[in-house]
């Protein structure tokens, strides 16, 4: 835009703003109680009106650009949803592999376009179903995966070269991925054709989620082993999903979610570069995972800010050259922490608003939570409603008919700037500490999240933040939902199955491969993925493999104050 045109626009807007201010002054003289300070969920002070004056001289005129162009504020692809809709996923996993396989096939029949696997707590923590610490948790919050036999059952009848699979697993990621590779090879699928994602984001476990096993240094080694192996052998696979979702679920606000997630990303990139890979070899397959919370416009702005920040970080800090290396592609899940056990039907509306924010923010993949998740694992009916929410937005709302429909909004663009500025302040502070691992070790990140979670909870308790059905508009009625119930026999069957596998396998071969793994784990520069694939093919259990690594690496014990 020419300088003369900008000045003309400024003059017009200044006149409009003076008129608005006079009108507001007269209104407040008559209604003084109506003047309030409005804030976003992250505490950003919101103007009562946004005009081009809030953007002129900043990025509004010169840097907004087009979708598919650096810095990708308006989207990573030039066509966005006019070219292809986001991948519709429903996070699923419960009880046995056989039961979860049925749910996967049901979801595919209902129009789901990607699988997303939830694992039970013992699997996430590296314990087999027959371990004493697994008692009472087997199959409860996800699917049981003890051996390759379980993984074979989980994907029976599902061709792995035809689906995209996302697996929410962190500490034992390398082992679970090895099992997935082994199943694909048994199906006759070339692993270079496999598409999907493993979460593999261990840093956020130390600050937000807690499913860690090993100390940070060997954990970072395993993360890097997976990224290096996938870079060289699985070009369509995302070897990490750098997750802000769990940071947000732990109580962070939108600014912290962006800042801590991207700071984790910087840490992983540095680790892979130290392994000797070139930035453009692997950066294009890094993926991200964000929450979509309740503050509709702030969430849209958050996604735009994150995209822009990552593009600048990759170009300026890491000197990436390829376009794919600069693009932040992400999966979104609606915010589980906002779901209420009171009046659970209200969760359908919450999820719809959050899903719409993710779509207007330009997500590449989306999971919508089910209305009954604050009470139990979702039923088929509630999962179907959650999936239909995405489908109605996609096919009936019209929001996909134009690219970045909110681009240029004075409010959204200004909010995007504010989020970026505040998130960059956090990243600079973390850099000064020596990076994310140092910040975690000092307890800085944990403290920031805990402080924000406490502030939010106090606002709810004081009634300053209204949660419909919880602290306002209560009915006192109990939910009238048919809830999913787990069969108590599941744990007994899992223990029987693992015993049977151990009886039928070649135990001498398993012992020799576990010993090989032990020796390689002691060698810091040795990538463990090839041996892990050998071990799981011989039906070594997840717990046996993790025990070997525990003996070599040790276990992480958080400091207590």
Q: What is the pLDDT of residues 419-465, one digit of tens each?
A: 999 999 999 999 999 999 999 999 999 999 999 999 999 999 999 99
Is residue 97 one of the residues assigned to a domain? yes
Long-range contacts for 398-405 (Cβ within 8 Å, ≥24 apart)? Answer: 399/356, 399/359, 399/360, 400/81, 400/82, 400/85, 400/359, 401/82, 402/82, 403/67, 403/74, 403/75, 403/78, 403/79, 403/80, 403/81, 403/82, 404/67, 404/74, 404/75, 404/80, 404/362, 405/360
Residue 59 has pLDDT above 50, yes or no: no
> What is the pLDDT, as a whole number, of residue 60?
47
Q: What is the mean pLDDT of residues 369-391?
A: 93
Write down how long the chain is: 561
> What is the pLDDT, as a whole number, of residue 469?
95
Lowest mean pLDDT among 81-95, 402-416, 522-536: 81-95
Say how many domains are in the chain. 1
Is residue 68 one of the residues assigned to a domain? no
Is residue 409 one of the residues assigned to a domain? yes
Is residue 444 one of the residues assigned to a domain? yes
Contact 62/417 with Cβ under 8 angstroms?
A: no
Q: What is the pLDDT of residues 339-361, one digit of tens each?
A: 999 999 999 999 999 999 999 99
> What is the pLDDT, as a whole number, of residue 485?
75
Which structural domain range is residue 361 located in? 80-461
Q: What is the pLDDT of residues 254-292, one digit of tens each?
A: 999 999 999 999 999 999 999 999 999 999 999 999 999
Is residue 142 one of the residues assigned to a domain? yes
Is residue 59 one of the residues assigned to a domain? no
CATH of the domain at 131: 3.20.20.240
Is residue 513 one of the residues assigned to a domain? no
Tell me the pTM. Answer: 0.90
Dist. CA 267–CA 286, nearest whole Å: 12
Contact 331/197 with Cβ under 8 angstroms?
A: yes
Is residue 400 one of the residues assigned to a domain? yes
Contacts of residue 75, defined as CB under 8 A and 6 or more positions apart, other chains included, come to: 67, 68, 307, 362, 403, 404
């Amino acid at each position: 835009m020419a300088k003369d045109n900008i000045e003309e626009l400024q003059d017009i807007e200044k006149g409009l703003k003076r008129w608005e201010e006079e009108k507001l002054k007269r209104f407040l003289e008559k209604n003084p109680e109506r003047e309030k300070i409005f804030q976003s969920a992250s505490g950003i002070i919101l103007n009562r009106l946004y005009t081009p004056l809030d953007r002129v001289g900043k990025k509004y005129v010169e840097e907004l650009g087009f979708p598919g162009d650096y810095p990708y504020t308006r989207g990573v692809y030039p066509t966005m949803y006019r070219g292809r809709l986001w991948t519709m996923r429903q996070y699923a996993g419960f009880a046995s592999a056989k039961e979860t396989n049925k749910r996967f096939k049901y979801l595919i029949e209902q129009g789901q376009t990607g699988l997303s696997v939830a694992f039970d707590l013992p699997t996430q923590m590296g314990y087999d179903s027959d371990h004493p610490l697994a008692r009472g948790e087997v199959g409860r919050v996800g699917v049981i995966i003890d051996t390759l036999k379980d993984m074979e059952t989980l994907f029976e009848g599902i061709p792995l070269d035809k689906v995209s699979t996302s697996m929410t697993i962190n500490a034992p990621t390398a082992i679970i991925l090895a099992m997935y590779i082994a199943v694909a090879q048994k199906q006759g699928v070339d692993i270079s054709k496999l598409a999907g994602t493993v979460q593999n984001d261990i840093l956020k476990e130390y600050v937000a989620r807690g499913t860690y096993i090993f100390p940070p240094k060997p954990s970072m080694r395993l993360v890097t082993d997976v990224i290096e192996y996938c870079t060289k052998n699985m070009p369509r696979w995302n070897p990490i999903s750098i997750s802000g979702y769990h940071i947000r679920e732990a109580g962070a606000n939108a600014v912290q979610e962006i800042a801590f997630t991207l700071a984790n990303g910087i840490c992983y990139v540095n680790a892979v570069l130290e392994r000797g890979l070139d930035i453009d070899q692997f950066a294009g397959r890094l993926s991200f995972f964000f929450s979509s919370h309740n503050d509709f416009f702030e969430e849209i702005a958050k996604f735009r800010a994150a995209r822009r920040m990552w593009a600048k970080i990759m170009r300026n800090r890491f000197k990436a050259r390829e376009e794919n290396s600069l693009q932040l592609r992400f999966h979104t899940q609606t915010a589980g922490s906002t779901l209420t056990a009171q009046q659970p039907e209200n969760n359908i509306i919450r999820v719809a608003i959050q899903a719409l924010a993710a779509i207007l923010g330009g997500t590449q993949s989306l999971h919508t939570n089910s209305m009954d998740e604050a009470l139990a694992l979702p039923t088929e009916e509630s999962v179907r409603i959650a999936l239909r929410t995405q489908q109605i937005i996609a096919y009936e709302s019209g929001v996909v008919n134009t690219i970045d429909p909110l681009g240029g909004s004075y409010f959204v663009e200004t909010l995007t700037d504010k989020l970026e500025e505040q998130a960059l302040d956090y990243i600079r502070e973390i850099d000064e500490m020596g990076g994310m691992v140092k910040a975690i070790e000092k307890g800085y990140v944990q403290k920031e999240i805990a402080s924000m979670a406490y502030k939010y909870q106090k606002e709810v308790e004081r009634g300053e933040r209204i949660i419909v059905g919880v602290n306002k508009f209560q009915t006192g009625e109990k939910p009238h939902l048919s809830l999913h119930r787990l069969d108590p026999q599941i744990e007994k069957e899992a223990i029987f199955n693992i015993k049977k596998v151990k009886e039928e396998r070649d135990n001498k071969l398993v012992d020799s491969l576990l010993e090989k793994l032990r020796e390689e784990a002691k060698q810091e520069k040795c990538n463990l993925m090839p041996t892990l694939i050998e071990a799981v093919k011989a039906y070594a259990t997840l717990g046996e493999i993790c025990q070997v690594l525990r003996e070599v690496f040790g276990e992480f014990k958080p400091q207590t104050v």
